[in-house]
């Protein structure tokens, strides 16, 4: 299912558009909340309905272990299983290759299950089959993401393996109502990123992702590598950077032509008592909030969360009540969706650079924006 993006406006390389699938329309730029095991942590599907994201992300590795893709397929697929009418993108398990240090061979990767310690084998072909059983709208190829920094020889070897695995994934993908995205690798080496992007496009996917960035490298190294990749990707197809969710990172990604992004940052921060606000991060565990009747962010009103005072949320946090994490998760996802909507409007109105400068001033005070 070859996806296209209808561009409604551009401002430099920044794009505002619409991705149309058999399920509906995804306005871009778009942030995808992460629902690793078929749910965004602390939220249910009615919460997602209220928040209104057009697409959420699920993880192949976790879902294949529990409850298993065959069980989900027997329940009518992931959408019906989680009672969600919006879009779903499934990761391939490639992030676990980065984070769980499995044994990697040309055939695939061998992990130990995070649940029972049993060995689990994941090949490119098995990753495709599992995602087809899950029935996601967009499926990712299985890739290898190197830890950074890494020698160029290692980055090149990982890139070549990812390309070989991408060819294997493309060869066996045969679900016509599911799009499949290729993934560009190459570390922070702009030349390798450009080569990887060109060769991934030559394989011919329904959309393209940039993986292996936002894994701890400095922003001044990440952005040139990202720019080198997006310069080689088709303008008429969706572009996705994986695992990016901080406000400055998002505006830099959009400035370089990215349409889609996901990250656990907003939900993880929420569970630890931190809110995203128009003044930056706000740690609601701090004593200074103990008697504050202010809302979480006076500059951002949302019907799901604005009724609660900082004093009340701090009380819940100190008391260990999970309701605090739920309220802050709702707030952070709503706040980030609003940020992306405002970014989109800035592109449409031709004032993206001014918007970007404002985000840098709020979220990276004292830093000089990248040229």
The enclosing H or E element of 19 equals strand 14-21
What length does the chain have?
A: 371
- Residues 169, 33, single domain; the answer is yes
Domain that holds residue 292: 269-351
- Residues 63, 116, single domain; the answer is yes
- Residues 114, 215, single domain; the answer is yes
159 lies in a domain? yes
Tokens 């069980």 correspond to what residue?
Answer: 71
The enclosing H or E element of 171 equals helix 152-172
- Residues 194, 289, single domain; the answer is no
- Residues 218, 329, single domain; the answer is no
Contacts of 264 (CB under 8 A, 6+ apart): 34, 36, 245
Do the Cβ atoms of 29 and 261 come closer than 8 Å?
Answer: yes
Give the rounded distance of the alpha carbon of 87 from its chain centre: 13
- Residues 206, 294, single domain; the answer is no
pLDDT of residue 100: 82
368 lies in a domain? no
49 lies in a domain? yes
As given in the structure block, the two tokens for residue 361 are: 């001033």
pLDDT of residue 286: 98
DSSP structure class, residue 369: P
Residues 353 and 259: their CA atoms lie apart, in Å, by 17
- Residues 101, 193, single domain; the answer is yes
Do the Cβ atoms of 260 and 28 come closer than 8 Å?
Answer: yes
Domain with residue 59: its CATH number is 3.20.20.105
pLDDT of residue 95: 79
Going 91 to 94 to 98 to 102, the CA torsion angle's sign is positive
Mean pLDDT, the chain cut into blocks of 10 residues (371 residues total): 93 98 97 97 97 97 95 98 98 81 92 88 96 98 92 96 98 97 97 98 98 93 98 98 96 98 97 96 98 97 96 98 98 98 98 98 93 92
185 lies in a domain? yes
- Residues 224, 296, single domain; the answer is no
- Residues 229, 294, single domain; the answer is no
Residues 362 and 123: their CA atoms lie apart, in Å, by 43
- Residues 76, 211, single domain; the answer is yes
- Residues 32, 166, single domain; the answer is yes
Query: What is the tally of structural domains in the chain?
Result: 2
Neighbours of 42 (CB within 10 A): 18
Percent helix, percent strand, percent coil in the chain, to nearest 5 = 40, 20, 40
- Residues 30, 105, single domain; the answer is yes
10 lies in a domain? no
1 lies in a domain? no
Contacts of 109 (CB under 8 A, 6+ apart): 93, 96, 97, 102, 103, 121, 122, 123, 142
228 lies in a domain? yes
Catalytic residue IDs:
91, 262
pLDDT of residue 96: 78
Beta strand segments in 168-312, E: 179-184, 207-210, 239-241, 260-262, 274-277, 280-283
pLDDT of residue 307: 97
pLDDT of residue 252: 98
DSSP structure class, residue 18: E
Do the Cβ atoms of 318 and 289 come closer than 8 Å?
Answer: no
205 lies in a domain? yes
Nearest to 39 by CA among 48, 30, 49: 48
């Amino acid at each position: 299912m070859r996806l296209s993006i209808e561009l409604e406006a551009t401002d430099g390389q920044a794009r505002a558009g619409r991705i149309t699938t058999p399920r509906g329309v995804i306005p871009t730029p778009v942030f995808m909340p992460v629902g690793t095991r078929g749910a965004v942590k602390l939220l249910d599907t009615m919460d997602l309905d209220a928040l209104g994201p057009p697409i959420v992300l699920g993880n192949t590795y976790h879902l294949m272990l529990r409850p298993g893709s065959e069980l989900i397929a027997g329940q009518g697929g992931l959408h019906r299983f989680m009672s969600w009418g919006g879009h779903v993108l499934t990761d391939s398990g490639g992030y676990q290759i980065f984070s769980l240090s499995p044994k990697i061979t040309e055939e695939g990767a061998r992990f130990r299950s995070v649940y029972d310690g049993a060995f689990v084998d994941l090949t490119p072909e098995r990753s495709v089959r599992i995602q087809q059983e899950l029935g996601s709208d967009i499926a990712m190829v299985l890739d290898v993401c190197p830890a950074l920094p890494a020698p160029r020889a290692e980055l090149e070897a990982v890139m070549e393996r990812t390309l070989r695995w991408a060819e294997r994934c493309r060869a066996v993908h045969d679900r016509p109502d599911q799009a499949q995205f290729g993934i560009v690798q190459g570390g922070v080496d702009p030349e390798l990123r450009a080569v990887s992007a060109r060769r991934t496009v030559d394989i011919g996917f329904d959309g393209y992702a940039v993986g292996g960035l936002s894994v701890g490298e400095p922003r001044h190294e990440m952005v040139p590598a990202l720019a080198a990749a997006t310069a080689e990707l088709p303008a008429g197809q969706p572009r996705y950077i994986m695992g990016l969710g901080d406000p400055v990172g998002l505006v830099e990604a959009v400035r370089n032509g990215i349409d889609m992004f996901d990250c656990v940052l907003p939900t993880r921060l929420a569970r630890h008592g931190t809110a995203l606000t128009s003044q930056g991060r706000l740690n609601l565990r701090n004593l200074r909030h103990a008697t504050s009747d202010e809302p979480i962010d006076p500059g951002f009103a949302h019907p799901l969360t604005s009724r609660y005072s900082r004093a009340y949320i701090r009380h819940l946090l100190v008391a260990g009540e999970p309701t605090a994490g739920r309220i802050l998760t709702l707030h952070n996802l709503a706040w980030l969706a609003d940020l992306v909507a405002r970014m989109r409007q800035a592109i449409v109105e031709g004032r993206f650079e001014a918007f970007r400068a404002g985000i840098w001033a709020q979220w990276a005070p004292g830093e000089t924006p990248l040229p």
